[in-house]
Amino acid sequence: MAEKPKAQDFDEVRKDIVKLLHQPEYDDGSAGPVLVRLAWHSSGTYDEETDTGGSNGAGMRYEAEGGDPANAGLQHARVFLEPVKSKHPWITYADLWTLAGIVAIKEMGGPDIEWKGGRTDYVDDSKLPPRGRLPDGAQGSDHLRHVFGRMGFSDQEIVALSGAHNLGRCHSDRSGFHGAWVHNPTRFTNQYFRLLSSLNWEKVKKDNGVEQFEHYDEDLDARLMMLPTDIALRDDSHFSPWVKKYADDKDTFFQDFAAVFAKLVELGIQRDDQGRITNVDNEKGGYHAAPKKKGEPGSPGKTSDDKVDVNEAGPLARENGNFRARL
């Protein structure tokens, strides 16, 4: 598909994303949370001052971005989406990754989020942003303002976007942290804010040396966790009013989250009055979709597209001996 795809083309992709969300042998039975993280991390490299990074280009296909330790584990999300890319080879990875996050949020009970297509895939890794632009969960409020302020987010938007921690869990072999933030990590609600503001959180040092905050629920025999950055939201005088507001008002949180997530996936995207992307790469190359990854293992050094590995499914099959995700 050389021309820009139509809305109905994306509708077919949406349907196939919904079909793959149910993954009973992966994490909490859903690919949804890791797809949301993929959309967020592929967009959150944007720098407002230099106008670099962001979701256009799908830079995570290359080692310089895909191999960033902050992106550990996102190969799962990329592999989950490969069957969709195979069925719809015309779609760019940049569009597929962001759309998948939007669809997953809605299917897990979250709000409708505006999404526009048209992103292109970079033809090489020359325009990738430097590593270190994504948040470090071990830090505090100053770090949050530095990272999110670079993208152009306000204190209110930082707190709203942090509500994505209603979904998924941390893995000690990826981020170093371990556990889920909420009782049902595959259902999008405002429980993250309610638990953050109402429970007692005890600082715990894990065996790997990482410090996080935990709460043990005796009734449910479950242990929940919060990152130091989560606690910073609760304790900071400018962040905390928004934490309390979203804990008390789910509708307002949903409305604000939808707005800020839509802003996130559009960072660095320039559009004309008709919604067409006018970034230089798009104007020169049009709607360029990188080819689907090869289905068989090969030498990363022999591919011009992805130096991470031409076949991410192979390494994952070896890595995940404790479960078999339906790829």
Those residues whose C-beta lies under 8 Å from the C-beta of residue 249, and which sit 6 or more positions away, are 190
Cβ pair 95, 88 in contact under 8 A: no
Structure tokens at 32: 């949804």
Whether 40 is catalytic? no
Alpha helical stretches, state H, the chain: 7-20, 32-43, 63-66, 74-87, 93-107, 141-151, 155-162, 191-198, 228-235, 240-248, 250-265, 280-285, 313-319
Structure tokens at 195: 């638990």
Structure tokens at 124: 């090489």
Of the candidates 147, 154, 153, 151, which has an alpha carbon nearest to the alpha carbon of residue 133? 147
Of the candidates 275, 238, 71, which has an alpha carbon nearest to the alpha carbon of residue 171? 71
CA distance readout (Å), 126 to 59, 130, 147, 299, 305? 10, 11, 23, 21, 12
Those residues whose C-beta lies under 8 Å from the C-beta of residue 135, and which sit 6 or more positions away, are 44, 70, 143, 144, 147, 148, 229
* Rounded Cα distance, 96 and 289, in Å: 10
Work out the number of other CB atoms within 10 angstroms of the CB of residue 116: 18
Those residues whose C-beta lies under 8 Å from the C-beta of residue 260, and which sit 6 or more positions away, are 153, 157, 160, 161
33 in the Ramachandran plot: left (φ > 0), alpha (ψ -120 to 50) or beta? alpha
Structure tokens at 294: 């090869």
Q: Which of 40, 115, 181, 242 is catalytic?
A: 181
Work out the number of other CB atoms within 10 angstroms of the CB of residue 301: 7
Whether 115 is catalytic? no
Q: Which of 41, 88, 165, 178 is catalytic?
A: 41
| Catalytic residue set | 41, 181
